[in-house]
Amino acid sequence: MALHGKLLQHLVVLLLLIIGVQLVLSAPKPNNPSCNRTCGSVNIPYPFGIGKDCYSDPSFLIICNYSFQPPKPFLGVDNIEVLNISLDDGELRVSNLVFRRCQWWPEYDNQKSLRRMSALLSLSKFRISLKKNSIFAVGCNFFAYISVSHEQDYTFMSGCISFCGNSSGLVNGSCSGLGCCHSAIPENTTNYNLAVQSIYTNGSSRTSGQSCGLGFIGETQAYNFSTLDFTNLTNRETVPLVLDWAIENKKCKDAEKNMTSYLCKAANSCLEAKGLGYICKCPDGYEGNPYLPDEDKDSCKDIDECKHSPYPCNATAICTNTKGSYTCTCPNGYVGDGRNPHGTTGCSRKDQSKIIIIALGISISLLILLVGTSLVYWVMQRRKLIKLKENFFQQNGGLILQRQLLNHKESVEPAKIFSAKDLEKATNNYDKSRVLGQGGFGTVYKGVLSDDKVVAIKKSNVVDQSQIEQFINEVVVLTKINHKNVVKLLGCCLETEVPLLVYEFITNGTLFDHIHDKNLSSSLSWEKRLKVASETAGALAYIHFETSMSIIHRDVKTTNILLDDNHTAKVSDFGASRLVPLDHTRLTTVVQGTLGYLDPEYFHTSQLTEKSDVYSFGVVIAELLTGEKALSMDRPETERNLAMHFVIAMKEDRLLQIIDDRILTEGNIEEIKEVANIAKKCLKVRGEDRPSTQQVTKELEGLRLLEKHSLKRVDPNTQQITKPLPNAPTHSSGTDVDIGSSSMSTIVADDSMKNQILKPTDNDAR
Ligand SMILES: *[C@@H]1O[C@H](CO)[C@@H](O)[C@H](O)[C@H]1NC(C)=O
Ligand SMILES: *[C@@H]1O[C@H](CO)[C@@H](O)[C@H](O)[C@H]1NC(C)=O
Ligand SMILES: *[C@@H]1O[C@H](CO)[C@@H](O)[C@H](O)[C@H]1NC(C)=O
Ligand SMILES: *[C@@H]1O[C@H](CO)[C@@H](O)[C@H](O)[C@H]1NC(C)=O
Ligand SMILES: *[C@@H]1O[C@H](CO)[C@@H](O)[C@H](O)[C@H]1NC(C)=O
Ligand SMILES: *[C@@H]1O[C@H](CO)[C@@H](O)[C@H](O)[C@H]1NC(C)=O
Ligand SMILES: *[C@@H]1O[C@H](CO)[C@@H](O)[C@H](O)[C@H]1NC(C)=O
Ligand SMILES: *[C@@H]1O[C@H](CO)[C@@H](O)[C@H](O)[C@H]1NC(C)=O
Ligand SMILES: *[C@@H]1O[C@H](CO)[C@@H](O)[C@H](O)[C@H]1NC(C)=O
Ligand SMILES: *[C@@H]1O[C@H](CO)[C@@H](O)[C@H](O)[C@H]1NC(C)=O
Ligand SMILES: *[C@@H]1O[C@H](CO)[C@@H](O)[C@H](O)[C@H]1NC(C)=O
């Protein structure tokens, strides 16, 4: 028996094992490929399924009725048409009937039928979604309500009344009380009774026309009110209703404990359902069916976000898909999280702001540097200019001049010191058209000062220290002289590299021009010649004897005698002049003068006395008498020098042959002879034998008086004799006038010349 008992035990175990194996074998096979997963247009995902072994639980059985075209799915437990199944939120849409009452229906007047309630829906497994559904009452002056019974304890009622008024306020699409109203559904509603009723208990208050009242429970968002629903019976027969579904009646943490019954196959995918139980959901970044094991092709699969549209990363970033997520990488040279939407930093160029800041910094500092250096440069240039001016002033003998001027307070009218700017302006920046003449010493410009005074501005050619001395000399000498027959020095400028002298402007050119220019010489009458000679002699006498210090001109010649409009002589160019203290009669200097006018005695001895000027003046008289140049290559070699030519002619008593024809015709031979005698005396080789300028002046003045006297008989108004010269330049057109410049070279003679040019002209004097 014991054996039998044991055998029985074994058999029971074996039987249980077989049953267990059978149970395992009969367990649902969600990935069963033979399962139909669609019914008509509706997807039927696991845990729902059509047919055996296709669903997880009998409550998820879907029956596909192929008698419809297209086929329609129905809930196996409640025979309600399924519209669609959503796995994500545990929702299920079913088709719900609309309950309708129309006033023209015969039973409407039947009080009984009015009160009749209809049990329209009874759900065994799923619950009506509270959030997504509402009770609707549609119609004019109708109300709809449901009564929910909870375990026979109490009845919960809910509903609303829809008014129409005079029907003018009805708006299609608006369900807010006029023609349509809706209200919330009580909790835990699985089955309910719904009633639709007119607010009038009898038909006496029928509104005009035929009208129906509608009552239903449906998805709040899905119903669109239309007045058409009042009359058209076929317009609205069903509405969608949202049901909540869940797996088991357990919370996630409980369900997880039994792996055989736990349906969530993907990791971390369990969610508490809205109703009872749990649902499964693919984790973020995955999509698919979380109820299927990983190996199933429809299970939760990683979403390749990078292939989605719109591109999840910034357009410049590189998207890389990861399990459940993706990364955005900005390319080299960019910074940021690389993501696209708002609240992200996108991809921006690396160091862009830094580069901008650096560039800005560099440009600002460059600017500052530039401004700074140009400021420094400007200041330095100014200093340099000031220093340069000071230098020039010193170099140009400004200090010497100042000292000289201070020492000689007796100067009549102090020479003005002009600024370089003033003179630049006066000469129109030393314009070529303003040049009056050019000579060995420098250039003479015509200038107009700011007070409209016309001046001659003498500009030294080269900066030569020896010439500067000469220059200063001239300034100093001239400031001492105030004589009507000496060119007046107005001032000087020492700021420039080359010193500038400012003279009064003498309008009519040099005596040289008047003698040797054919056009001018015709108008140079004997009377005028005598006047010029007399005035020149007077000027020389003045500088020799009437100034505080005797002044020796040293360069008396026709080019240095200027004429104004009245043919008044003006002695100029005191550049070579020497001041000789009155008690000294002789001065040893470097021989300086112009060939043809140079005193041979001075030339040989270098002993300077005022008699040297007398000799030169003798040459000037000879030039006036003969109309010949002081030095002429046209004459025989021995007579090239005018002085020699003149003296020889006098000696040989052929004076009249060499006298200028123009003055000979004027018929005052005696006067001419007198003047020729004066010239002859002046040209004596020995200075001592020459008369003084005072004597010469006296004699010439005497002759002039005679001349005037003789003229008086012709024209008593001698003082006003101004015979207009036919070709005399007018005051305004005196641009060709030359002052002080020499058309003959002023030379510093050396020994080689001594024997060539100058020979004693007065043999008997030796
Ligand atoms: C699956 O559906 C097709 C039509 O959609 C039907 O012909 C077929 O019989 C169905 N199979 C099962 C097993 O229900
Ligand atoms: C399919 O629908 C028709 C019509 O409503 C019905 O007569 C039939 O019984 C249904 N078939 C099943 C299997 O429910
Ligand atoms: C289910 O039906 C609703 C309303 O008809 C629709 O909005 C939704 O897209 C449907 N879902 C699926 C998966 O068909
Ligand atoms: C309907 O009622 C509104 C106010 O409720 C009124 O303004 C309107 O004139 C009425 N229309 C008719 C046709 O009676
Ligand atoms: C509502 O729409 C229907 C048809 O779309 C129309 O016949 C009816 O007049 C509309 N009612 C209102 C109040 O606009
Ligand atoms: C509801 O119906 C009205 C007209 O009948 C239409 O204008 C509106 O777009 C509809 N709304 C929806 C959500 O279908
Ligand atoms: C709904 O059902 C749940 C579970 O059965 C219960 O706890 C809750 O009290 C119910 N709510 C109402 C309003 O009856
Ligand atoms: C129907 O309504 C009218 C007016 O409101 C009333 O006179 C009549 O008595 C009502 N009939 C019944 C049966 O209540
Ligand atoms: C009633 O509604 C249905 C469906 O919307 C439509 O086909 C039919 O023409 C309507 N009938 C009338 C009388 O408006
Ligand atoms: C686990 O679930 C299976 C199938 O539903 C059931 O047979 C078994 O008893 C459950 N085990 C526990 C410990 O609840
Ligand atoms: C990429 O990022 C940059 C910087 O944040 C942003 O300006 C740009 O609009 C982004 N591109 C796109 C397509 O979003």
Q: What are the distances in angstroms from CA 296 to CA 56, 141, 197, 590, 677?
A: 16, 56, 53, 130, 152
Cβ–Cβ under 8 Å, residues 128 and 241: yes
What is the distance in A from the centroid of ligand 8 to the CA of 200?
9
Q: Is 568 in the pocket of ligand 7 (CB under 6 A)?
A: no
Q: Pick the more confident residue, 257 or 581.
A: 257
Could you write out the DSSP letters of every residue in 358-387?
Answer: HHHHHHHHHHHHHHHHHHHHHHHHHHHHHH
Question: CA 157 to CA 149: how far, in whole Å?
Answer: 9
**How much is the average pLDDT of 640-648?**
87
pLDDT digits (tens, 9 = 90+) for 183-215: 998 877 777 788 887 777 555 444 444 577 888
Q: Tell me which ligand sits closest to the C-alpha of residue 224.
A: 6
Whole-number CA gyration radius for the chain: 69
Residue 113 banded pLDDT, cuts 50, 70, 90? very low
Cβ–Cβ under 8 Å, residues 392 and 468: no
Q: Hey, how many other C-beta atoms are within 10 angstroms of the C-beta on 202? A: 11
**How much is the average pLDDT of 331-350?**
78
Q: Residue 133 pLDDT more than 50?
A: yes
Could you write out the DSSP letters of every residue in 40-84?
Answer: TTEE--TTSEESTTSSSSGGGEEEEETTSSS-EEEETTT--BEEE
Question: CA 80 to CA 121: how far, in whole Å?
Answer: 9
Could you write out the DSSP letters of every residue in 80-134?
Answer: -BEEEEETTTTEEEEEEEPEEEETTSGGGG-HHHHH--EEEEE-SS-EE-TTTEE
- Residue of 202, 206, 207 with the most ligand 8 atoms within 8 Å of its CB, for mutation: 202
Question: Which stretch of 259-263, 340-344, 366-370, 537-541 has the lowest confidence by average pLDDT?
Answer: 340-344
What is the distance in A from the centroid of ligand 1 to the CA of 45?
15
Q: Pick the more confident residue, 390 or 54.
A: 54
pLDDT digits (tens, 9 = 90+) for 68-96: 989 999 998 888 899 999 988 889 999 98
| Site of tokens 């690396």 | 350
Domains of the chain by range and CATH?
Answer: 27-85 (no CATH), 91-245 (no CATH), 394-504 (3.30.200.20), 511-721 (1.10.510.10)
Name the percent of the chain lying above pLDDT 90: 12
* Contacts of 184 by beta carbon, 8 Å cutoff, 6+ apart: 130, 134, 135, 158
Question: CA 662 to CA 519: how far, in whole Å?
Answer: 12
Cβ–Cβ under 8 Å, residues 50 and 58: no
What is the distance in A from the centroid of ligand 7 to the CA of 275?
10
| Paired strand residues for 593 | 747
* Contacts of 428 by beta carbon, 8 Å cutoff, 6+ apart: 434
Q: What are phi and psi of 307, to 5 degrees?
A: -90, -5
Atom of ligand 9 nearest to the CA of 228: 14
Question: CA 462 to CA 441: how far, in whole Å?
Answer: 8
Residue 555 structure tokens: 């360069």
Q: Tell me which ligand sits closest to the C-alpha of residue 339.
A: 11
Whole-number average pLDDT of the chain? 77
Cβ–Cβ under 8 Å, residues 608 and 576: no
Told to judge if 555 belongs to the known catalytic residues of this protein, a careful annotator would answer yes
Question: Which stretch of 247-261, 569-583, 686-700, 743-757 has the lowest confidence by average pLDDT?
Answer: 743-757
Q: Pick the more confident residue, 412 or 476.
A: 476
* pTM of this prediction exceeds 0.75: no
Q: Residue 181 pLDDT more than 90?
A: yes
DSSP conformational letter for 141: S
Torsion (CA) 31, 36, 42, 46 in degrees, nearest 10 = -20
- Ligand 6 neighbours by CB, cut-off 6 Å: 172-173, 224, 226
Atom of ligand 7 nearest to the CA of 276: 4
| Site of tokens 């939120």 | 89
* Residue 354 amino acid letter: K
Position 407 scores a pLDDT of: 64
Residue nearest to atom 13 of ligand 2 (CA): 65
Question: CA 707 to CA 528: how far, in whole Å?
Answer: 11
| Site of tokens 């055989």 | 260
Residue 276 structure tokens: 């009872």
Position 547 scores a pLDDT of: 80
Question: CA 372 to CA 381: how far, in whole Å?
Answer: 14
Instruction: Write down the catalytic residue from 229, 244, 555, 573.
Output: 555
Q: Report helix, strand and coil shares of the chain as percent, to nearest 5.
A: 35, 25, 45
pLDDT digits (tens, 9 = 90+) for 367-415: 999 999 999 999 998 888 888 777 777 766 667 766 766 665 554 566 6
Position 3 scores a pLDDT of: 47
Binding site for ATP: which residues? 459
Position 750 scores a pLDDT of: 41
| Paired strand residues for 416 | 491
- Residue 433: alpha-carbon gap to chain centroid: 43
What is the distance in A from the centroid of ligand 6 to the CA of 173?
5
| Site of tokens 């799915």 | 73
| Site of tokens 């429809």 | 298
**How much is the average pLDDT of 437-453?**
80
Cβ–Cβ under 8 Å, residues 334 and 316: yes
Q: Is 67 in the pocket of ligand 2 (CB under 6 A)?
A: yes
- Residue of 44, 81, 82, 83 with the most ligand 3 atoms within 8 Å of its CB, for mutation: 83
Q: Residue 580 pLDDT more than 60?
A: yes
What is the distance in A from the centroid of ligand 1 to the CA of 51?
10
* Contacts of 451 by beta carbon, 8 Å cutoff, 6+ apart: none
